Amino acid sequence: MAAKVEAKRTRNWKELDAAHRRRGELVTVIFSQDASTQGELKAVGKKGGRKQRYPDTLIEALLTVKVVLRLSLRALEGFAAGMVTLTGASWSVPDYTTLCRRERHLSVDIATKLSSNKRHILMVDSTGLKVFGEGEWKVRQHGTDGKRRTWRKIHLLVDRESGHVTAVEVTPNNVADCAVLPALLPSDLCNTLVLGDGAYHTKKLHRDVHAKGGVLLSPPPVNATVWRPYHCKAEPAFAFRNAPLQRLGRTEWKIQSGCAKRSYVEAMMHRLKSITGDKLSARTMDRQVVEVRLRVKVLNATATSTMKVAV
């Protein structure tokens, strides 16, 4: 008989409510004299050339406002000009063509690293952000032929303790989830537990995670059996999966193993889409990668302050 799961309630509603109000601070942009006129960067191109007029910090700040307020590039140019007008300054702002050109070369640091020599619980999952295609209402009402319906897959690796996204990858929609996990994981896992859904339940991934010093935990399929090694000796990479599965069965194993903790990463996917939208505005792959990393940076800025405490 399966063990009864006790329901939990959120206890920090007051702090959570204040944290949601503080999300509005993300759209506050301070235009300083240093950021707009005194930024000196390297010359563009190998043979020299004119210096860049606007520093990367200003370009990144404006593009961050763009993903939060879901503005077009032309609307973002008008927003920046309006902010400068309100300050009474005479600074110039980058036009939409400059923002588009500089976006593809922007290096965005999500500013989250795992502490070394510490056991973590990492959760991995993927979701899709639409690039082209009809809206959901029109598809439901009239259907669609799907000729221009495409999206990009966003793969996130989330630290359960801090609630931060530690790694992100952007791939076309035909790339399998299991093929991206090795690129997301750090080189040394140090007994870290990696949680994923059934898409990551492969022998190769279990071996790869074990080789880095971690343990992969993903729900086995309905017809799961004990994995047999290629040779007579038992493989340590399969021990954490085979022994409990053989002793408890699939249903009880899912309850007692703590595999349900991976549901937090699905809540992160919902938060990503609710804050920054479920559609990409960039049309080229390099700019889409920058746009996704900006969205993840915004998500990390709000993750810690909006984590629920359930008791």
pLDDT in tens, 159-169: 888 888 999 99
* pLDDT higher at 237 or 232: 237
DSSP 154-203: EEEEEETTT--EEEEEEEETTS-GGGTHHHHS-S--SS-EEE--GGG--H
User: Is 237's pLDDT higher than 50?
Assistant: yes
pLDDT of residue 33: 38
pLDDT of residue 24: 60
CA within 13 Å, CB half, 233: 3
pTM of the complete model: 0.79
User: Which domains, from first to last, does the chain contain?
Assistant: 23-103 (no CATH), 121-303 (3.30.420)
In tens, the pLDDT along 78-129 reads 999 998 888 888 888 899 999 999 999 999 988 677 765 567 889 999 999 9
Report CA torsion sign: 307, 116, 107, 54. Answer: positive
pLDDT of residue 213: 86
In tens, the pLDDT along 128-176 reads 998 876 666 666 666 665 556 788 999 999 988 888 899 999 999 899 9
